[in-house]
Structure 1
Amino acid sequence: MEKFKRTIWTHLENRDMESLKKLLSEAETIELFDVMRELSSEEQAIVYRLLSKDKALLVFEQLDTHLQQKLLASFTEDKVIEMISELAPDDRVRLLDELPAKVTKKLIASLSTEERKETALLMGYEEETAGRIMTTEYVRLKRSYTASEALEKVRANAQDKETIYTIYITDESRKLEGVLSLRELVMASPKMKLEDIMHKKIIKVSTDTDQEEVARTLQELDLLALPVVDKENRLVGIITIDDAMDILEEETTEDIFDKAGLADLNSKESDRSERLVNGSVFQIWKVRLPFLIITMIGGLMAGAVIDAFEEALEAIAAVAIFIPVIMDMGGNAGTQSSTIFARGLILGHINTKKFFGHLGKETLVGLSMGALVGTVTGIIASVWQGIPELGIAVGLALAITMTLATALGFFIPYILLKLDIDQAAGADPIITTIKDISGLLIYFVLVTQFLGYLL
């Protein structure tokens, strides 16, 4: 697999499209699906356009909706309409649900009458229900058919169905009467009637059953598909095991983020990460440069603080020795705290609904560490320079600065999150700026307070 990926990247770098097209035509769908997720937006569009029509559709259906949207953005309008129309009804609805309302309306209008009818049917059901995620592409036969007649019907319709491994028996009004597997049908005597071999005890769900319950049922009972019926017990669709696995993955991820109070964060953070990693230089500048300018301004302001206490530095040269210690320790404490916040946020260990509880605990941790480090450093400063008052100033400055920096490490990313600003790019520069200015100010005020008699 790694060799396959490297070969694709080599062909892309060399712009050797003929060799790339040949390589892609010989590749398995699973290989293409795997490599598509690691390519940039531009590379994905190039690779996708070189795939055969059938292979392109297979790959597209397996991608998550976020990647599908990115690919659609690179297509012409005609290509988008073609792709949407060729998707299975349930896959089509899943994608349309993620697109802007105006785009969805336009795309639905471009579908054929039959496709539009299928799509409207599914979109008419509540979100996250069996009706919304089912497919209408299934094999439905009459109980009066013989096994031989049934096999002929399956062969004739197999190409257009999502699965043929489970066959559903209905009456003229589509009321579900029985079910049997393809294996049972093949093994049956050709002249046997379906009503004699079908299972009349049917595991089924209704259109308003929650999608997670459907997925759990499929998983627990080890079924390949589940029939979906309406209130009159008429068969309206089926849900297959592959869709169930996708649902369980989505629901599990959603539950983790919801428990952390981050239900809407997942897609936003994914989009931001994508923009910072694979976006244009200008897009990256727009996110990162403003925060670096804030840091630069903060550095100049820190310089102004030092300049304001120039007399103290001239009178007591030893004061300057401990400036780097105070700034570095505060910086390290703040960076640790912001990193812990970011990791806890993504893993669901931090619940933003209970944020101030987390902030209080982190502040206490900062205070305890600051007190310990401040005491040790204060004693060292006092003995080293022979000025006890300087040791007190250094110790207190370190304790206060580290406590403040630790609290800021949690508080600043949280505020940026609430303001819908990229906290990954903005938190550390803002923390550093505030910490540098406040740390220096605290230190010099304490020096002036305790060593004022020497100035």
Structure 2
Amino acid sequence: MENFKRSIWTHLDNKDMDALKKLVSQAETIEILDVMRELSVEEQAIVYRLLSKDKALIVFEQLDLYLQQTLLASFTEEKVIEMISELAPDDRVRLLDELPAKVTKKLVASLSPEERKETALLMGYEDETAGRIMTTEYVRLKRDYTAAEAVEKLRTHAQDKETIYTIYITDDSRKLEGVLSLKELVMASPEQKLEEIMHKKIIKVSTGTDQEEVARTLQELDLLALPVVDKENRLVGIITFDDAMDILEEETTEDIFNKAGLADLNSRESDRSERLVNGSLFQIWKVRLPFLVITMIGGLMAGVVIEAFEEALEAIAAVAIFIPVIMDMGGNAGTQSSTIFARGLILGNINTKKFMRHLGKETIVGLSMGVLVGIATGVIASTWQGLPELGIAVGLALAITMTLATTLGFFIPFVLFKLGIDQAAGADPIITTIKDISGLLIYFILVTQFLGYLL
């Protein structure tokens, strides 16, 4: 896999499109999917356009929604319409649900009458129901077919179906009467009627069944697909096992966020992460540069603080030795806290409705660690420099700075989260800026108080 990636990047760098086309044409779908996630937007478009039509469709259907949208943005309008029309009905609706309403309306209007009818049918059902996520591409046969006739029908129509491993038996009005597997059909005598070998006891769901219930049923009963029927027991679609696994992943993640009171955090943080990793240079600048500017301004202000206490530094050179210790320990404590907050938020261990309780505990943790580190460092400073008062100033400064840093490590990300600002990019620069300025002020004030007689 790594050799394949290196070859892709080499051909892209050398602009050797012929070699690149040959490489991707011989590659497995999983290899292409893996490398697509690591390419820039422009490189993704180049690689995708070199795929054969059939392989391109397979790859597109298995890409994340964000990557699908990114690729569509790089296509011409004609290419977008072509891609949308070739998608399976359920995949098409899944993508259209994520596009702006005006774009969706225009794309639906561009579909053929049959495709438009299929799409409108699925989009007419409520979100997160079986009807919304089912596909209309299934195998439906009549009970009076012989096994030989059924196999011939499969041979003729199988290419356009989502799966042929499960076969559904209906009457002329599409009422579901039975089900059998492909294995059972192939093993049957050619002259046997389907009504003789089909199972009349059918596990099915209705169009209004919750999608999570559907997925759990597929998982627990180890089924490849589930038929979806309307109120009149007419077969209208099926839901396959691979779709069910996607649903379970989404629902499990959503449940975690709901428990933490973060119903919409998942998709928001996912989109931000995609932008920061795979977005354009301008998109990344827009998120990260403002916070780095804040850090730069904070650094300059810290310089102003040091300048204000220049006399103390000149009079007692030993004071400067412990500045890095105080700033680094505060920085490390703040980073630990912000990381713990982010992980706790994502995993549902932090309930935002009870945030003050979490903040209080983290402050106590910061104080306890600050006292321990402060005492140890204070003793070392006092012994090393022979100035007990300097040891006290260093110890107290560390205790206060680390307590403040851990508190900020929880509080700043929480405020950014509530304001809808990207905490991943913004928390640490803000924490560092406040901590550096306040830490230096605290240290120099304590030095002035305890060593003022030497100035």
Matched residue count: 455
Partner of 2:214: 214
How far apart, in 1, do the equivalents of 2:379 and 2:25 lie? 72
Q: Does 1:10 align with 2:3?
A: no
> Deviation at 1:228?
0.6
> Deviation at 1:35?
2.5
Question: 1:399-422 CA distances to partner (integer Å, 9 max, x unpaired)?
Answer: 101100111122212222222222
Q: Which moved more, 1:288-297 or 1:41-50?
A: 288-297
How far apart, in 2, do the equivalents of 1:178 and 1:293 lie? 67
How far apart, in 1, do the equivalents of 2:111 and 2:192 lie? 41
Q: Does 1:375 align with 2:375?
A: yes
Q: Is the 8 A contact 2:41 2:280 kept in 1?
A: no
Partner of 1:404: 404
Secondary structure at the aligned position of 1:298 is classed as helix
> Deviation at 1:206?
0.8
> Deviation at 1:73?
1.2
Partner of 2:355: 355
Q: Does 1:264 align with 2:293?
A: no
> Deviation at 1:292?
2.1
Q: Is the 8 A contact 2:298 2:433 kept in 1?
A: yes
Q: Does 1:133 align with 2:136?
A: no
> Deviation at 1:61?
1.1
> Deviation at 1:348?
4.1
How far apart, in 1, do the equivalents of 2:2 and 2:356 lie? 46
Unaligned segments of structure 1, at least 5 residues:
none
Partner of 1:151: 151
Q: Does 1:53 align with 2:53?
A: yes
How far apart, in 2, do the equivalents of 1:133 and 1:205 lie? 12
Partner of 2:27: 27
Q: Does 1:251 align with 2:212?
A: no
Partner of 1:331: 331
Partner of 1:433: 433
Task: For 1:102-251, list aligned pairs within 5 A.
Answer: 102-251=102-251
Cα 1:114/1:309, change in 2 over 3 Å = same
Cα 1:143/1:12, change in 2 over 3 Å = same
Partner of 2:65: 65
> Deviation at 1:453?
4.4
Q: Which amino acid aligns with 1:403?
A: T
Question: 1:336-391 CA distances to partner (integer Å, 9 max, x unpaired)?
Answer: 22233333344444343433332222211110011111112223333444443333
How far apart, in 2, do the equivalents of 1:182 and 1:372 lie? 70
Cα 1:15/1:181, change in 2 over 3 Å = same
> Deviation at 1:30?
2.8
Q: Which amino acid aligns with 2:308?
A: A
> Deviation at 1:316?
4.0
Cα 1:43/1:348, change in 2 over 3 Å = farther
Q: Which moved more, 1:38-47 or 1:396-405?
A: 38-47
How far apart, in 2, do the equivalents of 1:147 and 1:41 lie? 50
Secondary structure at the aligned position of 2:169 is classed as strand
Cα 1:284/1:237, change in 2 over 3 Å = closer
How far apart, in 2, do the equivalents of 1:167 and 1:307 lie? 81
Cα 1:371/1:328, change in 2 over 3 Å = same
How far apart, in 2, do the equivalents of 1:317 and 1:224 lie? 75
TM-score (norm 2): 0.94
> Deviation at 1:433?
1.1
How far apart, in 1, do the equivalents of 2:181 and 2:411 lie? 58
> Deviation at 1:280?
3.9
Q: Is the 8 A contact 2:48 2:56 kept in 1?
A: yes
Q: CA RMSD in A?
A: 2.1
Question: 1:281-330 CA distances to partner (integer Å, 9 max, x unpaired)?
Answer: 44333322222221222122222222333344444444333323222221
> Deviation at 1:104?
1.1
Partner of 2:80: 80
Q: Which moved more, 1:58-67 or 1:84-93?
A: 58-67
Question: 1:67-87 CA distances to partner (integer Å, 9 max, x unpaired)?
Answer: 211111111111111111111
How far apart, in 2, do the equivalents of 1:364 and 1:35 lie? 46
Report sequence identity in percent. 88
Q: Does 1:292 align with 2:258?
A: no
Unaligned segments of structure 2, at least 5 residues:
none
Q: Which moved more, 1:298-307 or 1:50-59?
A: 298-307
Question: 1:204-263 CA distances to partner (integer Å, 9 max, x unpaired)?
Answer: 111111111111211221211111111111111111112112212222232333334444
How far apart, in 2, do the equivalents of 1:95 and 1:372 lie? 55
Cα 1:34/1:313, change in 2 over 3 Å = closer
Secondary structure at the aligned position of 1:98 is classed as coil
